Amino acid sequence: MASKATSPRFGSDRGSPGPRHVAIIMDGNGRWAKKRMLPRVAGHKAGVEAVRRTVRSARELGIECLTLYAFSSENWKRPEQEIVDLTGLLKHFIRADLDEFHENGVRLRVIGDYRAFEPGAVALIDEALARTRDNKGSTLVIALNYGAQDELARAARTLAQQAVRGEIDPNIIAPGHISALLDTVDLPPLDLLIRTSGEQRLSNFLLWQCAYAELYFTDRLWPDFDHDALVEAIGNFRSRERRFGGL
């Protein structure tokens, strides 16, 4: 397995098989804590450390865009205290890591309706987005209060409204019209989706964008995900032949 010192860079050179854009469903924090007889919040704290490791590794490996599924639109069903804990960890992560991101040219993006969070978290997110908006290095995308079905429904409503106003002929609506209305419109096409913890489902994440993405599932729980795990996933991606429907 490649070590940190010898790992190649992925996706940074023209003509490279990539991936340029990697997304991760970060799953397994609760099970990680349960195995150690710790409270769930301990698993979430360990998960934040895994985020730090993965963001740094992605940058070192030359990945252009990394998207992390941090909080789904369905996660509001969780106990109130867990939501409070997750929000607090999000705020701590931004405060602790924003300077490092900015110094390394990382542009932060959020997909989903993050304004549903409490005002203090919203203010910190706004500050982070504004501060890093013009950075030209890699892009870190955090999915907050995000659901792919809602994203697609919003795009469909917009197209329906445009058709009612006579701005578009519904008979010419094509996939490109939908893609242009998604939260990810300014991001590279998704190449690789990773899900940790052994689960093999998309959980309402980037459903449209996954149309031709490669899927990679690992039994490793998210708090245990590290540089070598990312290199392994990318190596698996690079071993596949991507035909995009052709021969």
Q: Which residues are annotated as a binding site for substrate?
A: 28-32, 40, 44, 72-74, 76, 78, 195, 201-203
- Residues within the annotated binding site for Mg(2+)? 27, 214
Bridge partners (DSSP) listed for residue 154:
none
Residue with tokens 């596949």: 240
Number of Cβ within 10 Å of residue 118's Cβ equals 12
Q: How many CB atoms lie within 10 A of CB 156?
A: 13
Alpha-helix residue ranges (DSSP H) falling in the chain: 29-35, 40-60, 80-103, 119-132, 148-164, 175-179, 227-238
Supply the residues annotated as catalytic: 27, 75
Residue 1 DSSP symbol: -
Distance CA 43, CA 141 (A): 22
* Joined tokens for residue 57: 């590794």
Angle at 209 between CA 166 and CA 238, to 5 degrees: 150
* SS3 assignment, position 10: coil
Give the strand pairing for 107-111 and 21-25. unpaired
SS3 115: helix
